[in-house]
Chains A and B, each alone.
Chain A
Amino acid sequence: MGSFKLGKMTFKSLFGKPETIQYPAEQKTPPPGLKGHVVNDVESCILCGICMKRCPCAAIEVDKPARTWSINRFRCVQCGTCVRECPKQCLTMEPTYTPPATEKRLDSYEVPEREKKAAAQEA
């Protein structure tokens, strides 16, 4: 009988713990380092625009006059280039995925004006 070649494994599966989890009631803990989504700490962002230049899929828009940093989550491929290239280390890759969305839109964040003195002290 062919199936008896897998007998041990089949019995283990019958009486063992299930391999799957009851999603969405039960959710897997994301491992540290998972490429979930990019987060910008706007307090430290200097709007240099390096992330926008390096992004391979043009997902990031930096508008210096309007002082906004925007990301199109539907274009972003989580390659992590912006996180590696950021000179102020204000970009981080969070290990959680963004919730499902019903429309494609730009996530825009306002970068607060910083007093020159505070910026100089920080430097």
Chain B
Amino acid sequence: MGKATVIPFGPQHPVLPEPLHLDLVVEDETVIEAVPQIGFIHRGLEKLVETRDYNQFIYVAERICGICAFGHSMGYAETVEKLMGVEIPERAEYLRVIWHELSRVHSHVLWMGLAADAFGYESLFMHCWRLRERVLDIFEKTTGGRVIFSVVKVGGVVRDIDDAMFAEIKRVLEGIKDDYRQLCNAFLKDSSVKNRTVGVGVISHEDALAMSMVGPFARASNVNNDARCLGNGGYGKLADFQPVLDGQGDCYARVKVRALEVLQSIDIIEEMIAKIPAGDIVVDVKGSPAAGAEAANVVEQPRGECYYYARGNGSKYLERMRMRTPTSQNLAGMATALAGCDLADVNMIVLTIDPCISCTER
């Protein structure tokens, strides 16, 4: 055994899209312990709820994260709607699900590109991001924005999608599916990918449960945890929904779960487009949340379950808005997965939890 050495990893590191610091205690080339540290990009967004009214805060909520921007605006709006007892039109629920699942597709494909970059497969990275651009183009045409959409409103959505655009979305998604299957073939069958991912950073089913892991990170350890199963909003209208699970718990299983979830999301979008009812997209919301009224909500973000809590104080400003994001749940699992791995595998393991530090710190 060699002498234990502490190697700082991040917050500025080529593999990290966001600032996360890890103190890696290594002996020879093996990591003994990893101590994560966050706090580099705290912006105090939850506090802003005191100075922005409940309608204005939606634009703050969607700026919590650039990748799950739509999920945050939808989660916040649903929480305030619960708080005020507002029933939104059915068409708005369907539209929210369509945009949210498109966000999941672009988030997962982005992540797969980053993972390919981490294990040194540049052309695969380029192809992933090329496909993601097509999803961003759909967002640009339907919402007017590529990253921040500002289409959700307390009471519904502010933009509708017409039949011609739905036909175009279906056509684009069919094209994506065809190319995406070839990408999956590379991700799941390529020997160079398998060499870097199979058996790396294993988290057992028991550990995943004990550490309350969420999202694809937990589902790769066979934890049947998907907030979409609760059937909130438009998700309740799905004919059949079964989460994608895998029992291996290693980096390969995490890649596989996310890869299959993209195809599942495309199927959900197609089902929603086929079933979407005609009608209004927004209801008028008057008044303010009652003093002491509380509401909680759960949304399955691309990275996992995100919990929202809101409390009113009788004015148009909320008393408290709290979010518990998926990455804060998954950091403990990441530290466990890192213990005992090779130093060269650290970047792969860190990426496979898909860390979103700007969500975590807000």
Contacts and interface: CB of A to CB of B under 8 A. Distances in A.
Interface of A: 2-3, 5-6, 8-10, 13, 19, 31, 33-35, 54, 56-57, 77-81, 84, 93, 95
Given A5-B185, A35-B145, 11 more contacts: A2-B191, A3-B123, A5-B182, A5-B190, A19-B133, A34-B144, A56-B57, A56-B60, A77-B59, A79-B59, A80-B150
A6 to B, nearest CB: 5
A95 B179 CA distance: 31
Given A34-B140, A79-B150, A6 B182 contact: yes
B273 to A, nearest CB: 19
B167 interface: no
Nearest to B63: A77
Interface of B: 52, 55-57, 59-60, 121, 123-124, 127, 130, 133, 140-141, 144-145, 148, 150, 158-159, 179, 182-183, 185-186, 189-193
B141 A2 contact: no
A72 B127 CA distance: 39
A93 B150 CA distance: 13
A5 B184 CA distance: 9
B190 A2 contact: yes
Contacts of B130: 19
Per DSSP, chain B at the interface is helix
B146 to A, nearest CB: 9
Contact of A9 (B59, B141, B148, B179): B179
Contacts of B190: 2, 5
Given A2-B193, A56-B52, A10 B123 contact: yes
Nearest to A56: B56
A77 B62 CA distance: 12
A113 B241 CA distance: 61
B133 A93 contact: no
Given A33-B144, A35-B145, A9 B158 contact: no
Nearest to B195: A2
Nearest to B137: A31
Contacts of B56: 54, 56, 81
Given A33-B144, A78-B145, A9 B127 contact: yes
Contacts of B144: 33-35, 78, 80, 93, 95
Contacts of A6: 123-124, 127, 182-183, 186
A34 B138 CA distance: 11
A68 to B, nearest CB: 24
A2 B188 CA distance: 11
Closest 8 interchain pairs by CB? A56-B56, A2-B192, A35-B144, A5-B186, A79-B150, A2-B190, A31-B141, A5-B190
A80 B130 CA distance: 29
A56 B55 CA distance: 9
Contacts of A57: 59
Nearest to B133: A19
A40 B123 CA distance: 46
Contacts of A84: 158
A5 B150 contact: no
A6 B145 CA distance: 31
A31 to B, nearest CB: 5
